[in-house]
Structure 1
Amino acid sequence: MNKNKLAQASSPYLLQHQYNPVDWWEWGEEALQKAKKQNKPLLISVGYAACHWCHVMAHESFEDEEVAHLMNTYFVCIKVDREERPDIDQIYMDAAQILTGRGGWPLNAFALPDGRPFYAATYFPKENWKKVLKNVHKAFTTQKEQLEDTAEKLTEGIRIGDLAEFEPTQEAIFTPSDYKDLLGSWMQFVDFEKGGFKGAPKFPMPNSWEFLIQYYAFTKNQSALEALIVTLNEMAKGGIYDQLGGGFARYSVDDVWLVPHFEKMLYDNSQLISLYAKAHQLFPNPFYESIITETINFAHRELQHKNKGYFSSLDADSEGEEGTYYVWKYEEVKAQVAPEDWDWFKSYFQLQAKGNWEDKKNILHLKQLPKKFASENQFKWQDFEEKVHSYKQKLHQIQQKRERPGLDDKILTSWNAMMIKALVDAAKSLQNKTYLNQAKATADFIYANLRAENGRLKRNFKNNKASIDAFLDDYALLIEALISLYQLSFEIHYLEWAKELMYICETEFFDEHSGMFFFTSSKGEQLIARKMELSDNVIPASNSVLAKCLFLLGHFYAADDLLEKSKKMLAQVEKKLYKSGPYFANWSQLAGWIANPFKEVAIVGKDAFEVAFKMQKNYYPNALFLGGETENLDLLKGKLVVGETRIYVCENKTCQQPTTDLQVAIDQFF
């Protein structure tokens, strides 16, 4: 079987298409020059390895000789992995949104040879796709001027989309009253019965619920608490959570968290570890502890590279079908459970003889929280916990003998950064130093393999090679992770690296007009538009992450210019916080820091690390931690006393009476 040019790709998603009869090219100057030379439009198909409908369209159309002939004859065909090249994806996704009002993957865009799009949409069944190919070819040969006009207007819309509302502005000034008002726009979206946001499909949206943790900690608002708890509980009980192997699927297709789209993404699971860890800090819960540990165990078992980086995702499909690895026939499970345990076991995991999903298959999920179920069924908690754990292990061992879902084994800087932060958050919440050491190992992996000699980052790593320059999300999320890692370890080189990376962001990504940061570097490849990430989604926007990092670094280094930049960024989106709260949740967390007194907790002395580790078991909505055994930051000057470990709780560089008593310091804080 002949290979196409994707055989040389680094992306596992592109490699999946190397045997297609389509003459695929990777994005690059060579493909664009070919289109110009042959006067053919570009066909740009964007997807990712864990995308179910991408596989469907590939099987139906891209593996079909007749379809491939049309594509090869009429177009220069380019395949893009959106996870490796989000910059390209953003541009053509914007085109689809402008033209059709919707987006998604697979994304199929048609563009002039210079890259300007004139049509874009998502999945097409085979016969429809053939019609589209023929119609676009006809339009390109007979209505070229009209397509040129469409492409010019569409490209202009893409270019100005992010910048249209920006005006030079002052710093954001938030009061506690302003902050309390932020919740108003949320209530219309929240599903108070099943958690998450109303309707289907349901996405976890971890950053949204992190804001509600902060909001409840500041305001004690009961609606925020109710929304948060029902979401945490229902997600963890649902089929979206792998009740045997741990870890969350990308989303549920229904409105009750039962039937997942079965792919598992590193970015979801890392953020959900952080979410449950922070919730556990605020209101300790053994159920949340089990979710945290099981999800970390899943990531280590299924996604960890031998050198401590993390792979990107697991596919939804195995054996040619979605979800096969994760679902069970009733009798299949019954054969593994002792007869005397079957009645309660099938009730606990909601197993039905007719199945609770399609084709008489069962998705394991819970109707009740474990402790409530144990109590109502007259179990001693420890006995129940041991029995459930034993049966879960038994079934999981059987599951692991099945054909496994495909692994996307590329390593992305931004997603690994989120996993570093997840491990730090779990280390604090569960007081587990092993997790902290694992976070350090992943940070060291990135430094060794994804940092170039000039200090700039690379985005991807596969087969011992990093080939793509990093984007703003890589820098922003890594800076955030390093700041988090410093605050628990007190190893100053993590903070210094974060500062170094921020300097690169300021010199290569910053836009003077808006005060925001472009997604792409001024020194990298220049596409038809430089985009900005502003709204928080399943992953928080790189600009909101960076604004928070500027705020924190401004405090660590007493740098007013960084604080000013952060507050100006927030001011640009301030109105949106009140209108579209869930999609500006990370920005809203920054608003919480500004609206409420922000604390600097300095811990210095021979036991500084141990004291800080214990102190950070609690959730602090508005604080940073710094310290160690030396005065290596200006904020630490004059605070070290030989032979003691002192805690200073400070605000605006003014400290309360130092103490050597951990509980006294905690009381000072609250």
Structure 2
Amino acid sequence: MSNHLRGQTSPYLLQHADNPVDWYPWGREALQKAKIEDKPIFLSIGYSTCHWCHVMARESFEDLEIARLLNESFVSIKVDREERPDIDSLYMAACQAFTGSGGWPTTLFLTPEQLPFFAGTYFPPTSRGGLTGLRQLLSAIRDAWAQDREALTAPGRQFLQLLTQRPPEQSSPTRSLLEEGVAQWKRTYDETYGGFGAAPKFPMGHSLLFLLTYGEKKADPAALAMAEKTLEQLYRGGIYDHIGGGFCRYSTDRAFHIPHFEKMLYDNALLMLAYCKAYAITGRTLYRQVATETAGYLFKEMSLASGAFVSAQDADSDGSEGAYYALRPEEVLAVLGEDQGTAFNACYDITEEGNFHGFSIPNLLHSPLPGDRFAACIPALYAYRLARASLHRDDKVLAGWNGLLMGALSWLYRVSGQTIYRDAARGIWTYLSRVHGSQGTLSATSRDGLARGIGFLEDYAFCAFGLLSLYEATLEPSYLSQAQTLCRQVLTDFTDPSGGFFLTPQNADPLLIRPKDTADGALPSGNTMMAWNLIRLSHLTREDTWQRAAEAQMAFLSPLAASYPTAYPVFLLALLAQAVPAEEITVVLAPGEAPPRQPWPFPLDAVVTILEQPTDAYPLLGEQTTYYVCKNHSCLPPCHQYPS
């Protein structure tokens, strides 16, 4: 048995192609069918590495009675939230408005006109434990649709009014937002375990990046301490994969001990940025080690021969969440031998009692950091684990997430000096520009080298971020030029005349409304990332176009961030770049001298100009390469070596 998902490219949709539910992909055919047959739409949004999506699929979407109810009374649509962030954004907002929370799978009921009127996340097949069963829910909505449609759909009309409210008046941002944001983080900071708030805890690499940058620029030891404690605890906990490298999506507990085990490309890219920044500030080798190990994981398990990286790795193996990562003491002893195995088990909390369903998730929460003590053991355990089970990976390439990684690899090249990271960042852009790019536009996703779908705001914003980072790492003008091309496209195709940028370009198929994300979540929003990009471009180019665009974007975001600054960490990064000018460095190359092969020894956020010939304002001293450095509102005397 197959349905209308056969022939799709999304791994998530293909996972449901043989369900007895007559699924359609989002599109004209399904929407027209709902209108012609006057049926409500059953909309299910998820992604291929989502554990609870798998559970609901297994329990409900393979159930013949549930399939019968759906096929008779509804038009059923499946959406991959990674392929269609516009649909996900709009209907996640509905789920949060109706229920006060959200998550995946996201389950919604819509009118044929796409208006949501009921939403939730996971539903079991039958009612249990206080949860409404999907069978009962489908029957109730079928009956209400026939008997009292006006009352059934009233919440949708209220939601639409909420979406179309006037935005707050724009205003220039005040620097006090920086201090207010840090004060909010301090109030929710977990002094015992690091991180913020209670469980579940998400790593939020961009929040840590702001706290590190603020602590550095404002000389605030408390901000630095919060970020550093969290970065070390993330590494010590089971949320970090001590055998294979890389971070899982979030922790189910305060201590970052037991994770939700799926691994996302964007989490690892954002955390690499934070660890690189922490190393650049402190010089502590642990931070660089974690960043390089995370990159090593991505190279081994999420890279493609084309140079791009896939989107995610599953939480489940053999139908069980986390089983891939869990170990018993005797397994370690069999691989490493009695002496090394006993020491490894003691260090990494691998016990007979276990810490996860009778098994153990390796962690360093109660041990001194081992340094290189077990470096020779890790490859053998990694090979054993690979041979024991395998994980599904979602092998589609998302332009935006690869753009974030391009930036992270560029930073890692700068703090490590290892050209493999620079070359990998270049390889990502080579792939994206060849497969996803066309005359300044981007496609959001590709699979097997074939691009699909229009690009969304986050694709342009994240790729521009990556290109600016690659430019700052190499000082090759082409990357700066290409970043400007993408940002011009954003100004042309995504601008909302009332302020900010829409999530979709002008030529996108219309939804209920044209969505616009502003706050940062697990991912930065396209709007906050564009604010940071525009600030960086205005500093790097000193062009009025970018300065005006940056000021307009900051004025749009400022009143939104004012009510809850910690929801806008990337906006705060942009504001910090405005408030505390970066070091400005002009390098005049001596005649015939080529740029260095290793990374330039400059701060990560320095504004650098390379002159191949001297000018009246920047002459050479003694025919040798000359550095002009200005910081803290004053300029140092020109010199022949960068005064690090």
Q: What range describes the TM-score normalised by the shorter chain of this pair?
A: over 0.9
Query: Are the aligned partners of 1:608 and 1:645 in contact in 2 as well (CA < 8 Å)?
Result: no
Q: Is the 8 A contact 1:604 1:640 kept in 2?
A: yes
Instruction: Specify the code of the residue in structure 2 equivalent to 1:645.
Output: T
What does residue 306 of structure 1 align with?
A: 305
Task: Name the counterpart of 1:647.
Answer: 627
* 1:345 counterpart SS class: helix
Q: CA deviation at 1:404?
A: 0.8
Structure 1: distance between partners of 2:539 and 2:560: 26
Match of 1:427 among 389, 413, 431: 413
1:328 counterpart SS class: coil
Letter in 2 for 1:157: L
* Aligned equivalent of 2:548, options 564, 586, 591: 564
Equivalent position of 1:544 in the other structure = 528
Secondary structure, aligned partner of 1:309:
coil
- Alignment correspondent of 2:280: 281
Distance 1:318 1:211, change over 3 A: same
For the pair 1:134 / 2:139, whether they are aligned, the reply is yes
Residue type at the aligned position of 2:150: E
- Partner Cα distance (1:270, 1:193) in 2: 26
1:248 aligns with 247
Q: Distance in 1 between matches of 2:406 and 2:616?
A: 29
Number of the residue aligned with 2:489: 504
Q: Which residue of 2 aligns with 1:521?
A: 505
Moved more, 282-291 or 67-76: 282-291
Bigger Cα displacement from structure 2, 194-203 vs 150-159: 150-159
Structure-2 separation of matches of 1:245 and 1:489: 30
Aligned counterparts of 1:630 and 1:45: Cα–Cα separation in 2: 60
- Deviation, 1:289, is 2.4
- State the SS of the aligned residue for 2:430: helix
- Given that 1:95 and 1:158 are in contact with CA atoms closer than 8 Å, whether structure 2 keeps it comes out as no
Q: CA deviation at 1:629?
A: 3.7
Equivalent positions of 1:451-490 (< 5 A) are 451-452=437-438, 454-490=439-475
Contact 1:172 1:567 in 2 (8 A): no
Work out the CA distance in 2 between the residues paired with 1:122 and 1:652. Answer: 51
Q: Is the 8 A contact 1:604 1:628 kept in 2?
A: yes
1:346 matches 2:348: no
Q: What is the match of residue 378 of structure 1?
A: none
Corresponding residue to 1:446 among 429, 432, 448: 432
- Determine the C-alpha separation between the residues in 2 that align with 1:110 and 1:295: 40
For 2:42 and 2:522, how far apart are their aligned partners in 1?
28
Residue 314 (structure 2) aligns with: 315
Determine if contact 2:411/2:604 at 8 Å carries over to the other structure: no
Identity score, percent: 34
* CA 207–495 in structure 1, closer or farther in 2 if over 3 Å, else same: same
Deviation at 1:643, TM superposition (A): 5.4
Distance of 2:361 and 2:189 partners within structure 1: 25
* SS of residue paired to 2:289: helix
- CA deviations on 1:335-379 (whole Å, 9 max, x unpaired) are 233333444322210111111211x2010001356xx455xxxxx
Matches within 5 A, 1:68-87: 68-87=67-86
State the secondary structure of the residue aligned to 1:401: helix
* 191-200 vs 143-152, which moves further: 143-152
Equivalences for 1:326-341 in 2 at 5 Å? Answer: 326-341=325-340
After TM superposition, the structure 1 stretch with the greater mean CA deviation from structure 2, 322-331 or 562-571, is: 562-571
How far residue 592 of structure 1 moved from its aligned partner, in angstroms, is: 1.1
Conserved? CA contact 1:604–1:629, under 8 Å: yes
Distance 1:630 1:157, change over 3 A: farther
2:389 aligned residue? 403
Cα distance between partner residues in 1 of 2:291 and 2:37: 55
**Distance in structure 1 (CA, Å) of the matches to 2:571 and 2:297:** 30
Deviation at 1:602, TM superposition (A): 2.4
- Residue 602 of structure 1 aligns to a residue in which SS? strand
The equivalent position to 1:595 in structure 2, one of 576, 579, 584, is 579
- Secondary structure of the 1:648 match is strand
Secondary structure in 2 matching 1:6: coil
Deviation at 1:142, TM superposition (A): 0.9
Determine the structure 2 residue equivalent to 1:214.
213
Q: Equivalents in 1 of 2:546, 2:604: separation in Å?
A: 25
CA distance in 2, matches of 1:168, 1:574: 7
On the 8 A contact 1:43/1:108 being kept in 2, the answer is yes
**What's 2:169 paired with?**
167
Residue 493 of structure 1 deviates from its aligned partner by 1.2
Counterpart check, 1:417 vs 2:419? no
Partner-residue secondary structure (3-state), 1:659? coil
In the alignment, residue 504 of structure 2 is paired with which amino acid? Answer: T
CA deviation digits over 1:168-227, x for unaligned, max 9?
43x3353xx664444212111111111111210111000000011111102222221221
Q: Summarize the Cα distance change of 1:652–1:344 in structure 2 as closer, same or farther, 3 Å threshold.
A: closer
Q: SS of the counterpart of 1:467?
A: strand
Do the aligned partners of 1:180 and 1:219 also contact (CA within 8 Å) in 2? no
Give the alignment's TM-score, normalised by structure 1.
Answer: 0.91
Structure 2, gaps ≥5 residues long: 127-132
Cα distance in 1 for residues equivalent to 2:467 and 2:341:
48
CA distance in 2, matches of 1:19, 1:235: 39
User: 1:132 is aligned with what amino acid?
Assistant: L
Q: Deviations 1:587-624 (Å, cap 9, x if unpaired)?
A: 111121121233332223255642982413x455xx32
User: Does the alignment pair 1:144 with 2:149?
Assistant: yes
Counterpart amino acid of residue 364 in structure 1? P
Measured against aligned partners, the alpha-carbon deviations of 1:531-566 in whole angstroms (never above 9, x if no partner) come to 222111211111111011111112222223422332
Which letter maps to 2:487?
Answer: M
CA distance in 1, matches of 2:4, 2:594: 55
Question: Over aligned residues, Cα RMSD in angstroms?
Answer: 2.2
The answer as to whether partners of 2:333 and 2:342 remain within 8 angstroms in 1 is no
The TM-score normalised by the length of structure 2 is 0.94
The answer (yes or no) to whether the contact 1:267–1:419 under 8 Å persists in 2 is: yes
1:156 pairs with 2:161: yes
Q: Which residue of 1 aligns with 2:360?
A: 362
Structure-2 change in CA distance of 1:629 and 1:153 (3 Å): same
Higher RCO, Cα 8 Å, sep 6+: 1
- Report what 2:519 is aligned to: 535
| Residue identity in the other structure for 2:381 | L
Report the equivalent of 1:324: 323
Distance 1:221 1:625 in 2: 26
Contact 2:170–2:555 (CA<8 Å) still a contact in 1?
Answer: no
CA contact (8 A) 1:608 1:627 kept: no
Distance in 1 (alpha carbons) for counterparts of 2:61 and 2:270:
34
Query: Distance in 1 between the 2:236 and 2:616 partners?
Result: 49
Once residues 307 and 610 of structure 2 are traced to their aligned partners in structure 1, the CA distance between those partners, rounded to angstroms, is 27
What are the residue-to-residue correspondences of 1:568-647 with 2, within 5 Å?
A: 568-574=552-558, 577=561, 579-605=563-589, 609-610=595-596, 613-616=599-602, 618-620=603-605, 623-627=606-610, 629=612, 639=618, 641=620, 644-647=624-627
8 Å Cα contact 1:99/1:119 also seen in 2: yes
SS at match of 2:454: coil
Letter paired with 2:525: A
**Equivalenced residues, count:** 635
Contact 1:159-1:531 at 8 Å conserved across structures:
no
Give the CA deviation at 1:286.
Answer: 2.5
Aligned to 1:392: 378
The residue that corresponds to 1:41 in the other structure is 40
